[in-house]
Each structure stands twice: as C-alpha cells, then as structure tokens.
C-alpha cells in the first residue's frame, strides 16, 4: 500500500525531492524513492539487523545515495524539512510521533489496524494533517496525508496528487 502511494504521489515530481523513512526495515521504501528520483533519502530503524539488511539491499540493487542509520523514531529530531516522510509503524507509535512528522510536506503512514482508523484520523486532524487518501488490505490500513497548507501546485516541487482532485474518503 505504501509503495503504491509512493509511486502515485511522486510520479510527476521533479528529481531531487527528499524522503525520510521511519522504521525502514528492509529499506524498500527508501530504495524505491531513490529509484523514483529522490535526492536526499534517509532510512531510520532501531534494529541494527534491519539497518544491515537495508544497506545490503542497496548494494545488491546498485542504488547509491540512500543513508541508513540506527535510531529511535521516538527520539528522532528532524534536522531539516523533508518533502515526504514514510513510516510503517504501529498506530500508537505513529500517533505519539505525529507532532514531529508535521515538518514533512507529505506523509505515507502505514501499520494502522482497521479498528484504529477513526482514532488515527482524529489524531491526524489534531496535528493539522489532512487525510488525502487511504488504502485497506485485510486488517491493515495505509494513509496518505499532508500538512495543511502544503503546496499542491505544479509550479512547486510537489505536483498535484491525482490531478489535484481530492479523492473521497471512504
């Protein structure tokens, strides 16, 4: 679900946009972002084995320029503004770190159970984050969101999502 959002969102973006992948795991989102034209890409995970696997996947895929670092997402302090933040984490952890995620223009958030949907959407709204779309697969959900006021114009680095029309929420 997150990969689909990543592709849909960034297909019209100019090369050089930035991404931070929190809870990077195997690094698939970070590495795909590099493939799709991202400039600065950082993957963060609290598991040393995950960081090792992500670095290995980058080497095996011959993808350069993605940085993977050991870190606790609860203590993560964004050093600079990021065009896109991805996070595949449990809902409670995502809700806890939402205030930190507002520094990114766009968010792809997954790891939310269907039963947590309403609580999660309320938390996004409390943090001035606008739900643009959501996907469901089995009991899991993924959300595409953006900071309220994030540019949507093609003149900016961030192109319109879905041609500028906001998809209906279901």
pLDDT tens for each residue of 119-159: 999 999 999 999 999 999 999 999 999 987 655 533 333 34
* Average pLDDT along the chain: 87
Q: Return all residues near 120 (Cβ < 8 A) that are at least 6 apart.
A: 91, 94, 95, 112, 141, 143
pLDDT at 40 over 60: yes
Handedness of CA 152, 96, 24, 133 (dihedral sign): negative
Give yes or no for residue 66 having a pLDDT over 90.
yes
| C-alpha distance across the termini of the chain, in Å | 16
């Amino acid at each position: 679900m997150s990969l689909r959002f990543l592709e849909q969102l960034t297909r019209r973006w100019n090369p050089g946009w930035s991404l931070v992948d929190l809870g990077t795991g195997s690094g698939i989102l970070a590495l795909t972002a590099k493939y799709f034209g991202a400039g600065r890409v950082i993957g963060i995970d609290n598991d040393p084995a995950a960081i090792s696997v992500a670095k290995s996947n980058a080497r095996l895929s011959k993808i350069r320029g993605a940085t993977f670092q050991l870190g606790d997402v609860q203590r993560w302090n964004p050093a600079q503004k990021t065009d896109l933040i991805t996070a595949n984490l449990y809902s409670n952890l995502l809700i806890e770190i939402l205030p930190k995620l507002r520094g990114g223009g766009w968010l792809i958030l997954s790891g939310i159970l269907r039963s947590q949907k309403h609580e999660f959407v309320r938390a996004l709204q409390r943090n001035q984050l606008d739900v643009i779309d959501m996907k469901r697969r089995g009991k899991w959900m993924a959300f595409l969101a953006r900071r309220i006021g994030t540019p949507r114009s093609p003149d900016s680095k961030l192109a319109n999502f879905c041609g500028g029309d906001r998809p209906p929420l279901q």
